[in-house]
Structure 1
Amino acid sequence: MTPERPSARGSAEVLRYTAFSTDPAGGNPAGVVLDAGTMTADEMLATAADVGWSETAFLVPRGDSRVAVRYFSPRAEVSFCGHATIASAVAHAERSGPGHLLYETAAGPVEVATSRADDGSWQATLTSVPPRTVALDAGDRRDLLAALRWSEDDLDPALPARVAYAGAWHPVLAAATRERLADLDYDMEALGALMRERDWTTVALVWREDATTFHARNPFPPGGVVEDPATGAAAAALGGHLREQGLLTLPARLTVLQGADMGRPSRLTVDVPADPGSGIRVTGTAVALPPPR
């Protein structure tokens, strides 16, 4: 697909892509600036606010396939964003060809590989920083459930709650039923305040359909977004969490289905190596979106 003409704020070309879908009506939209070398942090934040999606990626090429990257939501900078990584890598590949890049992010180095399928679609695979998890404090668990308007009975006891990291922190809660996951009606102010206090990027809400298939939803009130249609960083964190808790037969390939409940279906492929210290690989497609009217 030929990329659409970008929009701009000042001298910065702002491309618009959707990640984890081959359909412009699906996936998670992201802004992309492929050369942000002259931009200040304030300009990046203002651009992300103009774009209005959950994140915009700002790339500064360093040479030798190294790229410094910063991610901004409409309200704040975030340490790492998976869907904007996939979107920006595909945007780069459409202009420079497939290959490997090393993204230098606030969370650490993230390897990204791009390729083109026989049908012409582009995909990218990111390898996260080493994941880890910590316990979800009992008080935080209580406050989190209250903000979500969930109860302990809504949780799947086979998938313990943790706070998981693979570039950004996400509490992971597993719903006992698909119906509970579909019925998302949370207190945005209360949840946003708790997440800002704890430095959580999104809340990863999941339902396990089978051993390797998960449905997910990700509230993101600190970024000014009610929900993410696809969250690569949370998918990587989920893979690390499941590996650490011994809940997978390793190595494993997971499918994370997200966005269907908000009308933007997304598919994320998550490869979980057996090595406990290794990063999690997240793969998805991306396509260009038309410029705003």
Structure 2
Amino acid sequence: MKGLGRSPALSLTNLLPNALIARARGGLYLAPMTRYSEVSAFTDTPGQGNRAGVVLGAGELSGAQMQALAAFVGAPETVFVTRLGHGLVRVRYFTPAQEVDFCGHATVALGRVLAQEGHWRGGALTLETLAGQVPLRLLLGAGGECQVWMRQPGFERRAVGRPLHAELAEALGLSDRLIHRGLPLASASTGLWSVFVPLLDAVILDGLEPDLERIRDLSERLDVASVYAYAPLGVGRFAARDFAPLLGIPEDPVTGSAGGALLGLLASEGRVPVRSERACGVVYQGHAVGSPGEVEVEVEMQSGRVVAVHVGGHAAVEREGVWKG
């Protein structure tokens, strides 16, 4: 993998601030430009999975500039590194429309870029986010492959009143008779709240015709970021689609934070096998929008209670660019 075998570069061009050195009038000056990467997360194939922007040098950007750059990149989320220290990285996450507390796929994308650029070789690394601290670990494979795992912020859940079940089904374009009665319909979070709606099978999931205005309204009423529909594929395997119009994202291709919350929710209700106080699963997402990806999840349990949720995935850098803000 590019960069994994060399020492971290400490030059001005790739640490904070991440400006480009330009030549003008016979001298050097710092141009108001910012480097960024576009990364496909939860896949090892560029152009699939979920696209995220990654900005390593955001220390001198204002919140308004970060928002403008996130809109320019146009990815569902862009992660900005505002401080890069030894073992601790301070970050902020923005959709094209607003700042959010946490984003799973952008975190995986960031880990991939930090490793590629030589800033992370697999030692202890913790992200400081608005949702709390997120420890990362890097698994290196043969041929330079890597997989980024994160311990997501603490798992939480909230009940959803039964009268809302039919409204959620209708907003997704189906009858509430197609809701799976043996799986939980509830809100849950590992850093970002979603409401999880179980469907009978993946065929129903693929055929959804969501009413995004109604989903936006329900998201506001339930105080969640998205409506996340899911269906069982087998033991510990689920297909999913995530609708987040409230965040300016009609459908998120692959959602790490929600994938972790889903397995936490299922494990808390005994709907996935628990062995040696651990439950594992995989969420397949993105096929409906032509960007398939996989979210791997491991849930730590203690006396039937979720104590930690770990999410992992591959990532591939698509391209790099410069923003002239």
TM-score category, normalised to shorter length? over 0.9
Q: CA deviation at 1:285?
A: 0.4
Larger radius of gyration: 2
Residue of structure 1 equivalent to 2:175: 151
Partners of 1:150 and 1:65 in 2: how far apart? 48
Partners of 2:284 and 2:121 lie apart in 1 by: 26
1:267 corresponds to = 294
**C-alpha displacement of 1:66:** 0.9
Contact kept in structure 2, 1:103 and 1:110, CA below 8 Å:
yes
* Distance in 1 (alpha carbons) for counterparts of 2:280 and 2:162: 31
Query: Which is further off, 19-28 or 184-193?
Result: 184-193
Matches within 5 A, 1:1-293: 2=2, 10-95=32-117, 96-99=119-122, 100-250=124-274, 251-275=278-302, 276-291=305-320
CA contact under 8 A between 1:114 and 1:125: conserved in structure 2?
yes
The answer to whether the 8 A contact 2:236-2:273 is kept is: no
Q: What's the CA shift string for 1:231-258, capped at 9, x where partnerless?
A: 0000111111012112122112101111
Q: Is the 8 A contact 2:284 2:293 kept in 1?
A: yes
> 1:277 offset after TM fit, Å?
4.5
* Paired residue type of 1:26: Q
Overall identity of the aligned pairs, in %: 32
- Give the Å deviation of 1:193: 2.8
Structure 2 SS opposite 1:134: strand
How far, CA to CA, are the matches of 1:277 and 1:230 in structure 2?
Answer: 23
Deviating more after overlay: 7-16 vs 184-193? 7-16
Deviation (angstroms), 1:229: 1.3
Going from structure 1 to structure 2, the CA distance change for 1:10 and 1:197 (only over 3 Å counts) comes to farther
Gaps (5+ residues) in structure 2?
4-13, 21-30
Bigger relative contact order, structure 1 or 2, given CA contacts below 8 A and separation 6+?
1
Looking at structure 2, the residues matched to 106 and 196 of structure 1 have their Cα atoms a distance apart, in angstroms, of 20
Q: CA deviation at 1:67?
A: 1.2
| Unmatched tracts of structure 1, length 5 or more | none
- The 3 A distance-change label for structure 1 pair 182 and 242 is same
1:2 positional shift: 4.7
Number of residue pairs the alignment of both structures matches: 292
The alignment's TM-score, normalised by the length of structure 2, stands at 0.84
State the Cα RMSD in Å.
2.2
Per the TM alignment, residue 62 of structure 1 is displaced from its structure 2 partner at its CA by 4.9
